[in-house]
Amino acid sequence: MISFNVPIYSEKGIEYAQEAIRARHISGDGQFTKKCHEWLKQDTGAKYAYLTTSCTHALEMSAFLAGIQPGDEVIMPSYTFVSTADAFVLAGAKIVFVDIRPDTMNIDENKIEAAVTAKTKAVVVVHYAGVGCEMDRIMAIAKKYHLKVIEDAAQGTKASYKGQALGTIGDYGCFSFHETKNYTMGEGGAIIFNRDEDAERAEILREKGTNRSKFFRGQIDKYSWVDYGSSYLPSDMNAAYLWGQLEVADEIYDNRMAAWNFYHESLRELEEAGYIERPVIPEGCTHNAHMYYIKAKDLKERSDLIRYLKENDIQTVFHYVPLHSAPAGMKFGRFHGEDVYTTRESERLVRLPLYYGIDIKDLEWVVEKMKAFYNGRSEG
């Protein structure tokens, strides 16, 4: 069976994790965490970067930093992972879902403004598949209505919009290093931002509401409980495993990109024949080969395709079931405007196997079977 995803196996990561253990520093903010922080800052150009225990937790931190209060409204797409909404629901917000664009599956920047009310506090954008949202327009709306912008860049490491790294355009950017993402520490993530005023608050939030980070830097002689917070810092063992990959981030990127490009070129003829749609990368967006998806005609055809590929030892998966249709989505949110594309497009989408080190023969097999499926259809 060709798996949809295989988490990165990093010999270097193992070595570094052992090193963290031998150094007797396995809790948070050790040498490897610091290396990851430096890498994140350098790679994105953000002034501040902190590893977290997950992207979900990075989003939670951003909700607190953005000052979300009970009763505030937060605008986001419905086509996203549950965490995007969860983090803001925990802060007491009401979620206002708006429709997506069919080409990128990202929030439709032209439908945001109509969803703004006096209670709207923030917009959360999701850069689906590491392809940037239309940030110029979104930032202009945010400016006009004094809204915070949080970028769920869980899938967006090493991707950019008009030359700016995803995660650095809005107020806060959140990455995921879950094992399904391009770089992984098992469970983990990061928050990045630029404003000095947020730095102290972020450190306190991440360290259980204490100013322990300041204490460790020798800036104060004892630390105390100064505000509310949680424990958002990951173990240095996990950071060490991640560091083994960030060190060779370009190699991992190139490898994934080669696989992505192979699919994209090889499946062109199926698109030209009108069978499928391939992903669209708008001008100005540089993606990171996080995901290769295609769109079938409809739900029925997608189910047939997934089944056919499975019979041929290929594991493919669909993606998000729109949040507004889930029980919690109905409880905590509402959909503003008409759901033109969210449900329809999500039902057509299927993701193909793509991971670091995937065998070219496996890619060829997937393409061959994709073609066989559609050619079989046209004949019968």
Ligand X SMILES: *Cc1c(COP(=O)(O)O)cnc(C)c1O
Site track for ligand X across 55-74, x = CB under 6 A: xx------------------
Please give the Cα distance from 209 to 229 (Å, whole number): 4
Please give the Cα distance from 250 to 242 (Å, whole number): 14
Residue 262 zone, left/alpha/beta (φ > 0; ψ -120 to 50; rest): alpha
Residue 91, both tokens: 């802060």
CA dihedral 46, 43, 142, 200 (to 10 degrees): -30
Q: Does 44 bind ligand X (CB under 6 A)?
A: no
CB 339 within 8 A of CB 322: yes
Q: Which is nearer to ligand X, 260 or 374 (CB)?
A: 260
Q: Which of 33, 62, 78, 84 binds ligand X (CB under 6 A)?
A: 84
Residue 295, classed as helix, strand or coil, is strand
Using CB under 6 A, count the residues that bind ligand X: 14
Site track for ligand X across 116-145, x = CB under 6 A: ----------x-------------------
Q: Does 190 bind ligand X (CB under 6 A)?
A: no
Q: Does 189 bind ligand X (CB under 6 A)?
A: yes
Q: Which of 33, 78, 104, 155 binds ligand X (CB under 6 A)?
A: 155
Q: Which is nearer to ligand X, 188 or 275 (CB)?
A: 188
Please give the Cα distance from 21 to 27 (Å, whole number): 10
With contacts defined by CB under 6 A, name the span among 94-102, 152-160, 292-300, 310-318 that binds ligand X: 152-160
Q: Which is nearer to ligand X, 16 or 183 (CB)?
A: 183
Find the distance separating the first CA and the last CA of the chain, reported in whole Å.
27
With contacts defined by CB under 6 A, name the span among 1-9, 39-47, 50-58, 357-365 that binds ligand X: 50-58
CA distances from residue 373 to 4, 5, 152, 251 in whole angstroms, order as listed: 18, 22, 35, 33
Q: Which is nearer to ligand X, 107 or 154 (CB)?
A: 154
Q: Does 154 bind ligand X (CB under 6 A)?
A: yes
CB 159 within 8 A of CB 288: yes
**86: Cβ contacts below 8 Å, ≥ 6 apart:** 56, 59
Closest separation between CB of residue 347 and ligand X, Å? 18
With contacts defined by CB under 6 A, name the span among 48-56, 109-117, 243-251, 271-279 that binds ligand X: 48-56
Q: Does 176 bind ligand X (CB under 6 A)?
A: yes
Closest separation between CB of residue 12 and ligand X, Å? 22
Q: Which of 81, 88, 232, 260 binds ligand X (CB under 6 A)?
A: 81
Closest separation between CB of residue 154 and ligand X, Å? 3
Q: 202 to 261, contacts with ligand X by CB under 6 A? A: none
Q: Which is nearer to ligand X, 16 or 128 (CB)?
A: 128
Q: DSSP character for 322?
A: P
Helix ranges restricted to H, 195-350: 196-206, 212-216, 236-246, 249-266, 268-272, 299-311, 327-332, 342-346
Distance of CA 182 to the CA centre of its chain: 10
Q: Which is nearer to ligand X, 152 or 347 (CB)?
A: 152
Please give the Cα distance from 253 to 233 (Å, whole number): 26
Please give the Cα distance from 346 to 332 (Å, whole number): 21
Q: Does 78 bind ligand X (CB under 6 A)?
A: no
Closest separation between CB of residue 33 and ligand X, Å? 16
What residues make contact with ligand X under the rule CB under 6 A?
54-56, 80-81, 83-84, 126, 152, 154-155, 176, 178, 189
